Structure 1
């Protein structure tokens, strides 16, 4: 059985600029097909626009409000929203209010699968 305590997972900054706390991923568990992390973005900040060639992502907003852009389409998002980001889709999220969200990736998140313009 694999269990990871939230308090024992050290946050880090990803290549896109968000602060991530890996909950279950390749760095801390024997995962094969997916990863789970908590992301936070302070009000007024944003991730750098990017895409993942291989990973499909889900964001589930736990707190806050933001503007999500996927392949040139903008939409305001808020607590309780679930967002699908297909593999290969350019995306960026901007925090109108401080954001806290879960980020699920399949295959698991990898720095090498993050691409910029």
Structure 2
């Protein structure tokens, strides 16, 4: 009797995912259906200045796809433009400022209960 092994990969077309409102605009989130995932992937359209927030558990990697603006990290602002990458460790208060499109990789996978506002 043949045994079917689980796939060791997943393919998702992010552009086909429904946009979800977030504190900074809208996001399309892939690989968020299992809280035990190693990471998730989000494409975020930042249309309003994000609220300053932090995560107690998540590390985030931001990769700027489009637009120019600033990342505010622990109270200091840094200019960002396409091609820039930012690693944000747990506890770092952060927000994006300006109209940007960002690829965001939360590690471990995004957990909405780990989004903290002052």
Query: Do structure 1's residue 21 and structure 2's residue 28 form an aligned pair?
Result: yes
Q: Is the CA contact (8 Å cut-off) linking 2:35 and 2:111 kept in structure 1?
A: no
Quickly say closer, same or farther: Cα 1:31–1:3, change in 2 above 3 A.
farther
CA RMSD of aligned residues (A): 1.6
TM-score normalised by structure 2 residue count:
0.85
Rounded to whole Å, the distance in 2 between the matches of 1:20 and 1:12 is 5
Aligned counterpart for 1:7 among listed residues 10, 15, 18: 15
> How big is the shift at 1:72?
1.2
Stretches of structure 2 lacking an aligned partner (at least 5 in a row): 1-8
Aligned counterpart for 2:59 among listed residues 35, 56, 76: 56
TM-score normalised by structure 1 residue count:
0.86
Stretches of structure 1 lacking an aligned partner (at least 5 in a row): none
Equivalenced residues, count: 110
Rounded to whole Å, the distance in 2 between the matches of 1:70 and 1:10 is 29
Aligned to 2:79: 76
Larger Rg: 2
